[in-house]
């Protein structure tokens, strides 16, 4: 039985959600809260599997509550709010604070079977993430050094469910360090991605933009793969890499595919490629990370016990694709240290990959 806590300041909407859940035989509403403060008490007492969470509430508010749940509890967070329509900045903020998924409140609940089906489906998906991995902690994990003494040519990053929050921590630790070109594939609705790029750039002072066809990648910049297209990296000449966007031919379960992006990085950058795989369901990115390792590059994954969804990092570990297993903050600090060390070893040469 999936245990759900419903948090919304609207009594009418709480009752509507409870009615929907009552029609699903494997979902049980164990409690209702009208405020974040009330929800915290119930989280301690009831230990729900999933929390449905409104954003606009009196007092602490939904965004702050999402951040606190991520830090202190094992419950998965499904934001159900009128402020989180796809493409909204609030949706991005909720995901960065730790929400695992979002669903927009419909204007009319009475005749909305699509909303009801989506609500039940998302609750089931989130409950399956619980498993043995619970609250995000930051254990001190030992790591070995980077094999290549050269400054890396590319840093490629992949993430899915839980990825935005981990990505935010990673970029925070990289901020201020010399960077190679950074390319990210993050599974999320296409309309949200430009707002994610804007939010990350504002927060960390790193140039974060959506990648475009034929773009040359520059050191110190971050590019996000657009939704609905695969992103491959190509080598134009020595040290110059560019973006190639491709339509899917109906063969990939993920568009864009982390595996495809990682595999292209291994081919063009070899031992000067660094691959990082963050939180996510499934196994996208694991095979591509193995390609990078076989090419002599560095491979790092988020420690599964710190991941909202440990599937992707665990799959990569199982394939022996990984050299370093660390929490996101430690990944960022490790990379920043490596980059500074290799940048200072360039003996006055211009900084370039």
Catalytic site positions = 160, 187, 284
Q: How many CB atoms sit inside 10 A of residue 78's CB?
A: 20
> What residue has token string 């595996």?
259
E strands, 202-326, are 207-210, 221-224, 230-237, 240-246, 273-277, 298-302, 324-326
The 10 Å CB-count burial string (b at 16+, else e) for 312-336 is bbbbbbeeebbbbbbbbebbbbbbb
Where b means 16+ CB within 10 Å and e means fewer, 53-75 reads bbbebeeeebbebbbbbbeebbb
User: Residue 244 and residue 261: Cα distance in Å, rounded?
Assistant: 10
63, 36 in Cβ contact below 8 A? no
CA 164 to chain centre: 3
Cα separation, 301 vs 323, in Å, equals: 8
Structure tokens given for 106: 């419909």
């Amino acid at each position: 039985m999936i245990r759900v806590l419903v948090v919304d300041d609207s009594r009418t909407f709480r009752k509507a959600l409870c009615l929907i859940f009552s029609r699903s035989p494997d979902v049980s509403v164990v409690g209702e809260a009208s405020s974040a403060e009330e929800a915290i008490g119930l989280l301690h007492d009831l230990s729900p599997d999933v929390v449905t969470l409104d954003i606009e509430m009196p007092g602490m508010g939904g965004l702050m509550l999402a951040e606190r749940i991520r830090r202190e509890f094992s419950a998965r967070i499904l934001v159900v709010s009128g402020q989180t329509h796809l493409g909204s900045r609030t949706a991005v903020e909720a995901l960065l604070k730790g929400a695992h998924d979002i669903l927009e409140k419909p204007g009319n609940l009475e005749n909305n079977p699509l909303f009801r089906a989506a609500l039940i489906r998302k609750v089931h998906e989130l409950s399956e993430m619980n498993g043995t991995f619970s609250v995000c902690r930051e254990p001190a994990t030992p790591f070995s050094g980077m094999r290549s003494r050269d400054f890396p040519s590319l840093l490629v990053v992949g993430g899915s469910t839980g990825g935005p929050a981990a990505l935010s921590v990673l970029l925070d630790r990289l901020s201020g360090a010399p960077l190679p070109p950074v390319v990210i594939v993050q599974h999320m609705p296409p309309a949200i991605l430009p707002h994610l790029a804007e939010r990350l750039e504002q927060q960390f002072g790193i140039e974060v933009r959506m990648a475009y066809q034929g773009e040359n990648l520059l050191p110190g910049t971050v590019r996000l793969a657009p939704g609905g297209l695969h992103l491959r990296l190509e080598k134009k000449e020595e040290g110059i890499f560019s973006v190639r966007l491709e339509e899917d031919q109906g063969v990939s379960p993920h568009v864009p595919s982390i595996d495809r992006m990682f595999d292209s990085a291994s081919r063009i950058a070899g031992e000067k490629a660094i691959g990082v795989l963050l939180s996510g369901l499934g196994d996208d990115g694991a095979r591509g990370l193995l390609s990078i390792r076989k090419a002599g590059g560095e491979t790092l994954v988020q420690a599964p016990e710190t991941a909202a969804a440990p599937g992707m990092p665990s799959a990569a570990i199982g394939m022996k694709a990984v050299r370093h297993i660390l929490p996101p903050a430690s990944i960022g600090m490790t990379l920043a240290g490596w980059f500074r060390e290799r940048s200072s070893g360039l003996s006055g040469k211009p900084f370039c990959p």
